[in-house]
Amino acid sequence: MSSMRRLIAFAIAGCAAFACALPVSADQMGSANSSVTITGQVVDLACFLSKGVSGASHASCATACAKAGGALGILTKDGDVVVSIEPGPGQDPNKLLLPYVEQTVTVTGMEYDKAGVKSIAVSSVKPASTSMSK
């Protein structure tokens, strides 16, 4: 291979490596619908989805799981589950929801819907006025 061809091959490989190393924005992770506000019960996804367990009697278990890195989500009054995702690279998706595990809250954040999974990057949380606990 001539030195010019090697130089071009190196340049292409370098550009490809640089493109792969670029950070992925939230918009590239899934289609961002918009900023939304939803109300629902904060649930430990592992126990809720695999065993149907939720509510005040499950709060200590759900809190322990969330502190260990288990995913939290919002169970809406319609029975839909919206997964909490990190608002930015390396940020904790549970941080804002942790004080409200198994309680009903109103959250605001960016909503995403990709591959059949609805998720929200939570930006604010406040207690809701109505209870959805089971």
Residue 15 belongs to a domain? no
Question: Tokens standing for 45?
Answer: 């996804």
Instruction: Determine the distance from the C-alpha atom of residue 120 to the mean position of all C-alpha atoms in its chain, rounded to a whole number.
Output: 6
Answer with the residue of higher pLDDT: 30 or 56.
56
**Domain membership flag for residue 19:** no
Q: Is residue 14 included in any domain, yes or no?
A: no
In tens, the pLDDT along 46-77 reads: 999 999 999 999 999 999 999 999 999 999 99
Instruction: Categorize the per-residue pLDDT at 17 as very low, low, confident or very high, splitting at 50, 70 and 90.
Output: very low
pTM recorded for the entire structure: 0.72
Rounded Cα distance, 123 and 75, in Å: 17
Distance between alpha carbon 78 and the CA centroid of its chain, in Å? 20
Provide the token pair at 65: 């799981």
Residue 118 forms part of a structural domain = yes
Among candidates 117, 96, 121, which has minimal Cα distance to 42? Answer: 96
Give which of 64, 62, 33, 34 is closest to 49, Cα–Cα: 62
Residue 28 has pLDDT above 80, yes or no: no
| Residue 43 in domain | yes
Is 10 among the domain residues? no
**Tens-place pLDDT, residues 77-126:** 999 999 999 988 999 999 999 999 999 999 999 999 999 999 999 999 99
Query: What is the phi-psi region of residue 16: left when phi exceeds 0, alpha when psi lies from -120 to 50, beta otherwise?
Result: alpha
Give the chain's domain count: 1
Length of the chain: 134
CATH number at residue 109: 2.40.50
Cα distance between the two ends of the chain: 70
Asked whether residue 101 is assigned to any structural domain, the reply reads yes
Domain of residue 114: give its range.
Answer: 26-127
CA distances from 115 to 8, 19, 27, 80, 104 (A): 38, 24, 14, 15, 27
- Residue 17 in any domain: the answer is no
In this predicted structure, what is the pLDDT of residue 7?
40
